[in-house]
Amino acid sequence: MKPKFSGRTKRHQYLEEYLEMHPFVTDDELARHLGVSVATIRLDRQILGIPEVRKRLRFVAQDAFQKPTALDTHEVVGELMDLELNKSGISVLTITEDMVLEKTQVARGHYLFAQANSLAVSVVDAQVVWTGSARIRYKRPVYLGEKIVAKATVKAERGTTVLVSVHSKVDLEVVFKAQIVLSVQDQKFKRD
Amino acid sequence: MKPKFSGRTKRHQYLEEYLEMHPFVTDDELARHLGVSVATIRLDRQILGIPEVRKRLRFVAQDAFQKPTALDTHEVVGELMDLELNKSGISVLTITEDMVLEKTQVARGHYLFAQANSLAVSVVDAQVVWTGSARIRYKRPVYLGEKIVAKATVKAERGTTVLVSVHSKVDLEVVFKAQIVLSVQDQKFKRD
DNA sequence: AATACATTATAACCTGGTCATAATACAATG
DNA sequence: CATTGTATTATGACCAGGTTATAATGTATT
């Protein structure tokens, strides 16, 4: 097989990119893929400081094992601290690196809304709930590491519609407000 | 070292639990941990159908590699399809299982807002941008598997404030609308 | 032709296993 | 008591996917 690349630097570049995409290939497979001997691949790896497959595997696996939270976050945004069904609820969310804009370390707005919205949905005790509309206002940016306490209160119920008001604070300062209108389809709720 | 367990079944039970928690230990480490010979560990694994470390590693790693979307989702919600800075942008988001309420298979409202909000932020070409307020309206629930196309348009610019309007559709039907007011702090933007 | 550098080959060794076979321990049973 | 059965341990040959060191080839360049 003819080498796919003339010039070592080009091969090195390609090698790094390729391994980024396919971290689990062996030197043997790489050698065949690049039309070059296994010895060369090994040398290249050594020069570029790329560890063997098994270590690459280990890194990826351990990384994945470290933070299963990254996936959990999808469920309910924020931790429910208190809940009085159809009346009020409180949830707490601490801003982590995942949630901020890199440059400014400011939390992306939709995390605040996500916390408020999932809290509002939790407060309403019904089988089927969805968000109808909302009016939201960000009072000041929230930074990495800050702990947001959101309090939701049911303000009004009209037919299949519930108005929930959410105030989110960092310490004593209000950073976010939302009025959320939820649609409800459930007998229990109507009976109340 | 004395065996930690009398009775093979107990050891097997413990072994399975232990490996659930620590999938990356070698037979050698296991042998020491359980006070039993390596040969025994190998036999146990064979009986229980537990593969060797390297294969366990491979499973975990590949699993993690399969769905990087779960992690990326944090970054920008939805895939950017088109972008004219300071004018408009389009992003596409397909509703996956992660995003729906279990009972109803309806997408949680904040995913729609997250898509709209991160699109709006992307459209505004500035170093520092955050959401000031928003008015949102859900027209109909969106279901598992549906593909949401969001289009954002910059409607007005006043000083450090930009008003962006977002319409999200499934096929030709509008399912969500938002007016988002963003705060901007950037020279470039002011000059424009 | 001589030099430099890239590439390849070769051999010895390592880890974390596999598989097959055999030796040992120990308890229970006839 | 000797025997049987089962669990445990040991032994040796082999494998994949490497490591490290050393030497032998290309190939280009001056």
Could you report the per-residue pLDDT of A44-91, keeping only the tens digit for each?
Answer: 999 999 999 999 888 877 766 653 333 334 445 777 777 888 888 888
Q: Give the mean model confidence (pLDDT) for residues B156-179.
A: 91
CB pairs under 8 A between A and B: 129
Q: Is the dihedral of CA B104, A116, A103, A68 positive or negative?
A: negative
Q: What is the pLDDT of residue A30?
A: 93
Q: What is the pLDDT of residue B154?
A: 95
Residues of B in contact with A71 (CB under 8 A): 70, 98
Q: Is the dihedral of CA A64, A70, A75, A80 positive or negative?
A: positive
Cα(A93)–Cα(A147) distance, rounded to whole angstroms? 6
pTM of the model: 0.49
Could you report the per-residue pLDDT of A135-149, keeping only the tens digit for each?
Answer: 989 898 899 999 999
Do A118 and B104 lie within an 8 Å CB cutoff? no
Cα(A184)–Cα(A160) distance, rounded to whole angstroms? 5
Give the residue whose CA sits closest to C16 at C1': B26
DSSP H or E segment with residue B93: strand B88-94
In degrees, to the nearest 5, what angle opens at C-alpha A98 toward C-alphas A92 and A99? 55
| pLDDT confidence bin for A191, thresholds 50/70/90 | very low
Q: Are B142 and B150 in contact (CB under 8 A)?
A: no
Q: Are B114 and B76 in contact (CB under 8 A)?
A: no
- Residue B140 touches chain A, beta carbons under 8 Å: no
Side chain identity at residue A174, one-letter code: V
Nearest neighbour of A135 by CB, restricted to B63, B64, B135: B135
Q: Which of B121, B128, B126 is nearest to B80 (CA)?
A: B121
Give, in order, the Cα–Cα distances in Å from B157 to each of A106, B136, B152, B163. Answer: 22, 19, 14, 6
Closest-CA residue of B relative to A75 is B98
Cα(A44)–Cα(A39) distance, rounded to whole angstroms? 9
Interatomic separation, CA of residue B74 and C1' of nucleotide D13, rounded (Å) = 52
Longest dimension (CA), chain A: 78
| pLDDT confidence bin for B178, thresholds 50/70/90 | very high
Give the residue carrying structure tokens 């932020």. Answer: B121
Give, in order, the Cα–Cα distances in Å from B114 to each of A7, A99, B27, B156, B166. Answer: 46, 12, 46, 21, 11
Q: What is the pLDDT of residue B187?
A: 41
Which value, in Å, is the radius of gyration of the alpha carbons in chain B? 26
Q: What is the pLDDT of residue A130?
A: 75
- Residue A43 touches chain B, beta carbons under 8 Å: no
Do A118 and B98 lie within an 8 Å CB cutoff? no
Nearest neighbour of A60 by CB, restricted to B64, B73, B135: B64
Interatomic separation, CA of residue B37 and C1' of nucleotide C23, rounded (Å) = 15
Cα(A79)–Cα(B54) distance, rounded to whole angstroms? 37
Percent of chain A with pLDDT strictly greater than 70: 84
Cα(B133)–Cα(B128) distance, rounded to whole angstroms? 16
The bases of strand D with some atom under 7 A from any protein CB are: 7-11, 16-21
Q: Which of A20, A25, A22 is nearest to A41 (CA)?
A: A25
Q: What is the DSSP letter of A140?
A: S
Q: What is the pLDDT of residue A25?
A: 92
Could you report the per-residue pLDDT of B132-162, keeping only the tens digit for each?
Answer: 888 989 999 899 999 999 999 999 988 788 9
- Considering chain A, what is the average pLDDT of its residues? 82
Cα(A70)–Cα(A67) distance, rounded to whole angstroms? 6
Residue A49, sorted as left (phi over 0), alpha (psi -120 to 50) or beta, turns out to be left
Strand D contact with A51 (CB < 7 A): yes
Q: What is the pLDDT of residue A27?
A: 94
Distance from CA of A114 to the nearest CA of B (A): 5
Structure tokens at B52: 């060797």
Q: Give the mean model confidence (pLDDT) for residues A111-120.
A: 88
Cα(B172)–Cα(B101) distance, rounded to whole angstroms? 24
Could you report the per-residue pLDDT of B2-42, keeping only the tens digit for each?
Answer: 566 667 788 999 999 898 888 889 999 999 999 999 999 99
